[in-house]
Amino acid sequence: MRILIAEHQPELGRIWARYLERQGADVTLATSSDEALRILRFESFDVLILELVMPDGGAIAISDFVSYRHPDVPIIAVTSGSFFSDGSVFEVIPNARSLLRMPLRIDDLAALVDHYAGRRVGVSAAQPTTP
């Protein structure tokens, strides 16, 4: 299972990545929206973990790109803010499957990743997409 984590706090992203790698996942960490978009241009993933409040404001751009280029990739949104507390994240981000609030339990995140990656029956992210 291939996972992209878009999280602007490198130390937090590395904690999540290491935990998911111990669960058998192949994890890539992007610490900015530009980096995430560059990665997504050439690679495909089974799940995207997306921090909604990135300093460069690019979380929506990332989700729009994923919705267009990889419409079957589920997005697990993570936030420490209350902006999407009304559930509007599911209207704004079509691929959003879950919204986790910080602080979160890492095993809850891993369970969601496993659940949504498992639903991609017949879809393999092992092959990179062509630009």
Tokens of 46: 């089974």
The whole-number pLDDT of residue 61 equals: 93
Domains of the chain (ranges, CATH numbers): 2-118 (3.40.50.2300)
- What is the average pLDDT score of the chain? 86
The pLDDT value recorded for residue 97 is 92
Whether pLDDT at 73 is above 60: yes
pLDDT reported for residue 8: 94
Confidence band (pLDDT; 50, 70, 90) for 83?
low
What integer pLDDT is reported at residue 92 of this predicted model? Answer: 80
How much is the pLDDT for 114?
92
Instruction: Give DSSP secondary structure letters for the chain.
Output: -EEEEE-S-HHHHHHHHHHHHHTT-EEEEESSHHHHHHHHHH---SEEEEES--TTS-HHHHHHHHHHH-TT--EEEEESSSTTTTSTHHHH-TTEEEEEESS--HHHHHHHHHHHHHT-TT----SPPP-
Q: Is the pLDDT of residue 5 over 50?
A: yes
| pLDDT for the residue numbered 91 | 77
Taking the C-alpha atoms of residue 19 and residue 34, their distance in angstroms, rounded to an integer, is: 24
Taking the C-alpha atoms of residue 42 and residue 84, their distance in angstroms, rounded to an integer, is: 30
pLDDT digit string (tens) for 24-70?
999 999 999 999 999 999 999 999 999 998 888 889 999 999 999 98
* pLDDT surpassing 80 at residue 115: yes
